[in-house]
Structures are given as structure tokens and as C-alpha cells.
């Protein structure tokens, strides 16, 4: 099982899309193992997006991410990172396929509703930025055996 960071960005929060987006992840079978509604500080946004510091959009991205509350989630599932990225769709809403979160809810190339970790390494780093020890929980769902074939002892 893999755990990934998802951030519902200020535009998703302001447009009232949080519940609809969380439902998509849960409907897919992903497990919410952590969540925070928060206002990201300039310092946290700068650290989170430090790999983009040389890019021309960096300052506007940090300003956008600190402009309004966000919902930060830790989602767990078999291949959660790839599953979430596929569900999110292409970075730009105008290019995202219908049926994806960005394709169904977004059209802007600047406001793209959602962030998701792009690798196990970034997920580990990002989860530590937003969650402290004990805030990402390990808990058993009664439905787990109906989401994954567990007959071999591992989730398939």
C-alpha cells in the first residue's frame, strides 16, 4: 500500500468542490488516512514548491496557494500515487480529459484545482511537510476485502 499527498487548492475550496473530489477518491477505493483544512503559510508554500523557484510562475504559484484555505489529504491505496495522478488529469484544465478531476471541473491553465505527489520520494517529503507524527493514521476498513482481492495475502 502506498500513501500520497493530495492538496485541494484554493480554487477547489472556493468553488465548493471539496466533497465531490473526495467522493471520487473514495469511490475509486482509496482510503483517507489524514486530512487538514488549513491556510498555507508563505514559508510552507515556498518549501513545498522549492523545486520551481527558478521558474517564472513560482511567485504567482506561492501567492495563489496562500490566498485561501486548502484541504490537505493523505490517501492510501494500492498504487495510490499513479491512481491519483490519473484521476487528476493533465496539469492544465483546458487540456485535461473529460472524466478526470481537472477535465470535469477546470478550464484554467493557472488554477488547476488539485496537487498530487508525483513519486514515492516526493510523497514522503510532502507528507512530512503537511502532517506531523501521528496525523496520518493506520486503520482497517471493513470494506477492504471488497476493494482488493486479498486472497493471496497482498492487495491485488
Cα(65)–Cα(99) distance, rounded to whole angstroms? 25
CATH for 21: 3.30.70.141
- Residue 154: pLDDT band by 50, 70, 90 thresholds? confident
Query: So what's the pLDDT on residue 96?
Result: 96
Nearest Cα residue to 41 out of 72, 20, 14 = 72
Residue 10 lies in a domain: yes
Our count of domains for the chain comes to: 1
φ and ψ at residue 149, rounded to 5 degrees: -75, 110
Buried b vs exposed e over 30-51: b needs ≥16 C-beta within 10 Å?
bbbbbbeeeebeeebbbebbee
* 141-150 average pLDDT score: 89
Residue 153 lies in a domain: no
Place of cell 488539485: 114
- Residue 151: pLDDT band by 50, 70, 90 thresholds? confident
115 is catalytic: yes
Residue 53 lies in a domain: yes
- Per-residue pLDDT of 19-58, as tens digits, reads 999 999 999 999 999 999 999 999 999 999 999 999 999 9
Residue 78 lies in a domain: yes
Nearest Cα residue to 126 out of 115, 111, 139 = 115
Residue 86 lies in a domain: yes
Of the CA atoms within 13 Å of residue 17, those in its CB half-sphere come to: 21
Cα(89)–Cα(123) distance, rounded to whole angstroms? 18
* 127-142 average pLDDT score: 96
Q: Which of 115, 117, 123, 131 is catalytic?
A: 115
Query: So what's the pLDDT on residue 33?
Result: 98
- Residue 102 sits at the vertex; the CA angle it makes with 100 and 106, to the nearest 5 degrees, is 135
Q: How far is CA 17 from CA 10, 20, 84, 147, 149, in A?
A: 10, 5, 16, 25, 31
pTM (predicted TM-score): 0.94
Residue 152 lies in a domain: no
Residue 38 lies in a domain: yes
What the block records as the C-alpha cell of 130 is 503537511
Residue 44 lies in a domain: yes
Query: So what's the pLDDT on residue 109?
Result: 85
Give the domain range for residue 34: 2-147
Amino acid at each position: 500500500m502506498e500513501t500520497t499527498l493530495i492538496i485541494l487548492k484554493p480554487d477547489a475550496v472556493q468553488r465548493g468542490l471539496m466533497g465531490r473530489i473526495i467522493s471520487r477518491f473514495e469511490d475509486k477505493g482509496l482510503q483517507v488516512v489524514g486530512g487538514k483544512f488549513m491556510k498555507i503559510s508563505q514559508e510552507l508554500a515556498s518549501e513545498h514548491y522549492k523545486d520551481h523557484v527558478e521558474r517564472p510562475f513560482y511567485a504567482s504559484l506561492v501567492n495563489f496557494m496562500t490566498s485561501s484555505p486548502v484541504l490537505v489529504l493523505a490517501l492510501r491505496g494500492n498504487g495510490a500515487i499513479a491512481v491519483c495522478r490519473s484521476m487528476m488529469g493533465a496539469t492544465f484544465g483546458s487540456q485535461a480529459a473529460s472524466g478526470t478531476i481537472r477535465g470535469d471541473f477546470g478550464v484554467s491553465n493557472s488554477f488547476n484545482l488539485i496537487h498530487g505527489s508525483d513519486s514515492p520520494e516526493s510523497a514522503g517529503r510532502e507528507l512530512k511537510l503537511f502532517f506531523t507524527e501521528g496525523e496520518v493514521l493506520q486503520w482497517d476498513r471493513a470494506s477492504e476485502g471488497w476493494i482488493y482481492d486479498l486472497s493471496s495475502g497482498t492487495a491485488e
